[in-house]
Structure 1
Amino acid sequence: MSFRIEIETDDCMSSGKCVADYPGVFFFDDEELAALVPDARLTDEEIIKVARNCPSRAILVFDENNDQVDT
Structure 2
Amino acid sequence: MYRIELDRDVCISSGKCVAESPETFRFDSDEIVELVPGAPRLPDEEIFDLARDCPSGAIRVFEGDEEIDVH
Query: TM-score, structure 1 length as denominator?
Result: 0.93
Partner of residue 53, structure 1: 53
Partner of residue 14, structure 1: 13
Cα distance, 1:66 vs structure 2? 1.4
Cα distance, 1:10 vs structure 2? 0.4
CA RMSD of aligned residues (A): 0.7
Opposite residue 49 of structure 1, the aligned amino acid is D
Partner of residue 5, structure 1: 4
Question: Structure 2 matches for 1:56-67, cutoff 5 A?
Answer: 56-63=56-63, 65-67=64-66
Structure 2: stretches of 5+ with no match in the other structure: none
SS at structure 1 position matched to 2:47: helix
Query: TM-score, structure 2 length as denominator?
Result: 0.93
Opposite residue 13 of structure 1, the aligned amino acid is I
Cα distance, 1:39 vs structure 2? 2.1
Point out the structure with the larger strand share.
Answer: 2
How many Å separate the matches in 1 of 2:51 and 2:38? 18
Matched positions, count? 69
How many Å separate the matches in 1 of 2:52 and 2:38? 22
SS at structure 2 position matched to 1:68: strand
4+ residue segments displaced more than 4 Å? none
